[in-house]
Amino acid sequence: MTQSPRDILHSIFGYESFRGPQEAIVDTIIAGGDALVLMPTGGGKSLCYQVPALARSGTAIVVSPLIALMQDQVASLVQSGVRAAYLSSTLDWQQAQAIESQLLDGRLDLLYIAPERLVTARMLDMLSRIHIALFAIDEAHCVSHWGHDFRSDYLGLSLLKEQFPQIPRIALTATADPRTRADIIERLGLQNAEIFISSFDRPNIFYRIAQKQKSLDQLEAFIRREHPGDAGIVYCLSRNKVEKTAEALNQRGIRALPYHAGLPGNVREENQTRFLREEGIIMVATVAFGMGIDKPNVRFVAHLDLPKSIESYYQETGRAGRDGLAANAWMVYGIADVIKLKSMLDQSEAGDEHRREEKRKVDAMLALCETVQCRRQLLLAHFGEHLAEPCGHCDNCIEPSPTWEATEPARMALSAVYRTGSRYGVEYLVDVLRGERTERLLANGHESLSVFGRGAELPEKEWRSIFRQLLARGFLQTDPEGFGALRLDDSCRPLLRGDATLMLRREQAKTVTPRKSGGKPALDIASEDRVLWEALRSKRRQLAQEQGVPPYVIFHDSTLMEILSARPRSLVELGRVAGVGDKKLERYGEAFLDVVIEYA
């Protein structure tokens, strides 16, 4: 070992010190031990195996599920002077042969590879003939049936322990509840591994969740108010909604591209490349997009539909603000989202236990949306982490929702479900409670029910909120055979008997924005610094285009911000900026110094 981990961290990656448990993880792997690492997106997971890969002799084999992740990581490493490559289906035969030759000749520090390729007999034979520094298994939650993104290809990775018992292994993920963690340990044979769990908190992200009204108008207002010209991701549940949303945003003068599995491969690739390499593009996508995307300056993630679990929500919102600068997680949802998700689960071919678990996850996600407490406290508690005080950086902390004594209206709602035979959805039940004499209701004879018209004084919006919160509390369930129909859960009995009271959140339109309430814009550039800032970005964009890489591969926004603040006048001073390693200083130092001197 020619360099210490700290020397590698500074000379290659441009950082003075490790963060959190990074150094302990690095030391464990360098010493030949195994590790399971749970660290939030943007927390620096990749350094936990990249530094040991350069400190240990041989080639590190990195298992990665997505091509985009491999390409991004390799491009960044090559920029820093590291001998890195990837093997994927995007390479032609000659390119793959050249990389395999480099591998066999010991001319690679890191090789990224997909799990399905790694476990082939040909690849395993090749690995048996080289000196391996370590195995890194990224997105390790993919090995678990309980994880939010199970991939069967990951199950074959158990053979690494059997065939290469002396090689250290590090498994990494940003999202795993206790059940998923246990599954990862069992399936990958990591019973003796050191377990490192970082805080799941992303303090730079402002969380905000609102009721879905006119979702496109809400989204447009949010983007124009807080993120004009910023890069962002908008998630939708269906492919059709993705395309309609992207089209609508473009018609409203906001640059947006669609991404989903039904688009032709060349269109998906082109749109993804544009998102990575151009400034200010918004990607409208299903959750097929995003895992492995390493773009650090995504300033917001928006959801137009309810995610299927807190794990999914955390993973998806974590794609915002990877550079540590301020970012937004914004979502609108409605009760129809809950019913749709549960109906999809009812129609799936999964076993009963798996469907029950997935429904439990939907309920937990709905509870996060409906809570009147600090969202960050509830979010972290889901991952077993206790936050002692409210965060002060979510909508509920900044503008708390009022509550009201809703025991009697809640009983009316539950009674309406029971007296109509547990066969109807929310809209019909609201009509019963408000006394609406619709053709369907009259045909069923439900105008004669004792609950008919008893809730006429409450508006439809309030009744929908009551039903949504009763679902979130578990007092109501969706009927698997009833196409969105609601039925009573046994837990509602004390409320119906009069043995319990109920406080619910009062509906209100929240106007809170993070910029006015404790957060600050991510790129809060003073007016006198704007010219230099744009000149630095322009130079970065030019260098990136010349080399065919995304701009952030040259330098992250956070590095440019530090250059803007420090105004270095020499290569020595520029070399002290975080993110400027020796190789990048050599390649780009003069170019960026010229910009600083010219515009400063």
Domain positions in the chain are 5-197, 205-398, 403-505, 527-599
Determine the Cα–Cα distance for residues 274 and 100; give it in Å rounded to an integer: 30
Per-residue pLDDT, 146: 61
128-148 pLDDT tens trace: 999 999 999 998 888 876 655
Tokens matching residue 455 = 């809730």
Q: Which of 16-25, 154-163, 341-350 has the lowest mean pLDDT?
A: 341-350
pLDDT averaged over every residue in the chain: 88
Burial of residue 387, with CB atoms counted within 10 A of its CB: 0-12 exposed, 13-18 middle, 19 or more buried: middle
Domains 5-197 and 403-505 share a fold: no
Mean pLDDT of 84-95: 89
Per-residue pLDDT, 513: 53
Q: Which of 80-84, 356-360, 380-384 has the lowest mean pLDDT?
A: 356-360
Per-residue pLDDT, 515: 44
Instruction: Give the 3-state secondary structure of 185-236.
Output: HHHHCCCCCEEEECCCCCCCEEEEEEECCCHHHHHHHHHHHHCCCCEEEEEC
Contact 335, 54 (CB under 8 A): no
Does residue 520 surpass a pLDDT of 70? no
Per-residue pLDDT, 516: 38
Contact 564, 533 (CB under 8 A): yes
Determine the Cα–Cα distance for residues 173 and 181; give it in Å rounded to an integer: 9
Considering only CA atoms, which of 522, 42, 518 is closest in space to residue 314?
Answer: 42
Per-residue pLDDT, 63: 92
Task: Kindly state the greatest CA–CA separation across the chain.
Answer: 86
Give me the residues paired with residue 229 across strands: none
According to the CATH classification, is domain 527-599 in 1.10.150.80?
yes
> 3-state DSSP call for residue 298?
strand
**How far are the Cα atoms of 6, 12, 14, 44, 554 from residue 76, in angstroms, in the given order?**
19, 11, 13, 14, 8
Per-residue pLDDT, 178: 78
**Which fold would CATH assign to domain 403-505?**
Arc Repressor Mutant, subunit A (1.10.10)
More confident residue, 523 or 359: 359
Tokens matching residue 513 = 């924005």
Tokens matching residue 571 = 């290569």
Highest mean pLDDT among 48-57, 279-288, 460-469: 48-57
Considering only CA atoms, which of 294, 317, 286, 237 is closest in space to residue 71?
Answer: 294
Q: Which of 288-302, 467-481, 511-525 has the lowest mean pLDDT?
A: 511-525
Per-residue pLDDT, 340: 82
Instruction: Give the 3-state secondary structure of 498-567.
Output: CCCCCEEECCCCCCCCHHHCCCCCCCCCCHHHHHHHHHHHHHHHHHHHHHCCCHHHHCCHHHHHHHHHHC
Task: Provide the 10 A C-beta neighbour count for residue 450.
Answer: 10
CATH code for 5-197?
3.40.50.300
Look at the pTM and tell me if it is higher than 0.85.
no
360-384 pLDDT tens trace: 888 889 889 988 889 999 999 888 8
Mean pLDDT of 241-262: 95
**How far are the Cα atoms of 15, 33, 49 from residue 30, in angstroms, in the given order?**
19, 7, 9
Task: Provide the 10 A C-beta neighbour count for residue 267.
Answer: 12
Contact 507, 460 (CB under 8 A): no
298-303/327-333 β-pairing: parallel
Task: Provide the 10 A C-beta neighbour count for residue 45.
Answer: 23
306-339 pLDDT tens trace: 999 998 899 899 899 988 889 999 999 988 888 7
Considering only CA atoms, which of 19, 43, 21, 9 is closest in space to residue 324?
Answer: 43
Mean pLDDT of 147-151: 64
Question: DSSP letter string over 91-127?
Answer: S-HHHHHHHHHHHHTT--SEEEE-HHHHTSHHHHHHH
> 3-state DSSP call for residue 264?
coil
**Which fold would CATH assign to domain 205-398?**
Rossmann fold (3.40.50)
Mean pLDDT of 6-18: 91
Burial of residue 570, with CB atoms counted within 10 A of its CB: 0-12 exposed, 13-18 middle, 19 or more buried: exposed
Tokens matching residue 345 = 């689960």
Per-residue pLDDT, 1: 46
Highest mean pLDDT among 25-39, 273-287, 363-377, 449-463: 25-39
